[in-house]
Structure 1
Amino acid sequence: MSVPLIQLRGITKRYGSGAAELMALKGIDLDISAGEFVAIIGPSGSGKSTAMNILGCLDTPTAGQYLFKGAHVETLSRDQRARLRRRYLGFVFQGFNLLARTSAQENVELPLLYRGDSASTRRVAAAKALESVGLGGWERHTPAELSGGQQQRVAIARAIVTEPAVVLADEPTGNLDTQRSHEIMGLLLALNRDHGITVLMVTHEPEMAAYARRMVHFLDGRLAKDEVNPNPSSTAPAELANTETT
Structure 2
Amino acid sequence: MNLGDIKRRLAEAELSRDREEHEISTFLVDNSNAFLAPIRARQESVWLDNQLEALVTEHDRLKATKLRLQGERTRLDLRTDQLKVARKALQDARSKLEKAWIELEQSKRLQDDLDIEVSCQRRRICSDLGRAYPIAPASSKDYRLLSIRGVVLPYVNFDDFKLDDVGTALGYTAHLVYLLSAYLNIQLRYSVYPRGNRSYVEDCVSIDHDHGSYPLWPKGIDYQSFEYGVFLLRLDIKQLMDSHGLLTLDIQQTLLNLKGLLTFIQTNR
TM-score (norm 1): 0.22
CA radius of gyration, larger in: 2
**Greater RCO, 1 or 2 (C-alpha within 8 Å, sep 6+):** 1
TM-score (norm 2): 0.20
